Amino acid sequence: MNAAKRLEIFRRLHEDNPEPKTELAYSSPFELLIAVILSAQSTDVGVNKATAKLFPVANTPAAIHALGVEGLSEYIKTIGLYNSKAKNVIETCRLLVELHNGEVPQTREELEALPGVGRKTANVVLNTAFRQLTMAVDTHIFRVSNRTGIAPGKNVVEVEKKLMKFVPKQYLLDSHHWLILHGRYVCLARKPRCGSCRIEDLCEYKHKTSDD
């Protein structure tokens, strides 16, 4: 795919949604961090239902740590893998209090040192909470990048690096939100909704579908 096509793709995505936002509900970098940890292999809707009950009771590292694993589990037991997530969140909260004065660190290395925080989670927090130029590649972004030809790659890190290189600079900051939303609602895994796609004429996918 050439640079002109990429530029027009992101111009249209920006035109349709000038200020894209994550669908996770949060009001602080810490709440976002916890929500993203909980969202692994879960839906944003499911996470939001759980955090709507949790955050009014505890929304600081010290407060959530005080709940303990069992106490936290009661709030998040509707989320998949909640046992292991509860352990990771409690340990992460302990480290935030002991090592970071209760603040969420703003470097990938420090974030990835926290339990339950991998490269993708760190990139989401850095981009969404701190507005850093990072690219969090999830299954939606991986699929859209490969299927459209925007940034094909064999693994998420390869796709991440290509997106960082190829996405036009003026659109890079918000591009991860546009690509996630496109994959979630238009470029679906089983059958992409090509007939409803704003960028169908620019996409290089060879097996276009109708919406019938």
Task: List the catalytic residues.
Answer: 120, 138
User: Cα separation of 179 and 183, whole Å?
Assistant: 6
The token duo for 55 is 């955050």
Q: Residue 152 CB: number of other CB atoms within 10 A?
A: 15
Q: Rounded to a whole number, what is the largest CA-CA distance in the chain?
A: 56
Report DSSP letters for 37-100, one per residue: HHTTTS-HHHHHHHHHHHTTT--SHHHHHHHHHHHHHHHHTTSTTHHHHHHHHHHHHHHHHHHH
Query: Which of 200, 196, 101, 91 shows the shortest CA–CA distance to 144?
Result: 200
Instruction: Find out whether 187 is annotated in a ligand binding site.
Output: yes
Backbone angles phi, psi at 104, to 5 degrees: -80, 125
Instruction: Find out whether 93 is annotated in a ligand binding site.
Output: no
Instruction: Find out whether 194 is annotated in a ligand binding site.
Output: yes
Q: How far lies 63's CA from each of 53, 60, 88, in Å?
A: 14, 5, 15
Binding-site entries for [4Fe-4S] cluster: 187, 194, 197, 203
Binding-site entries: 187, 194, 197, 203
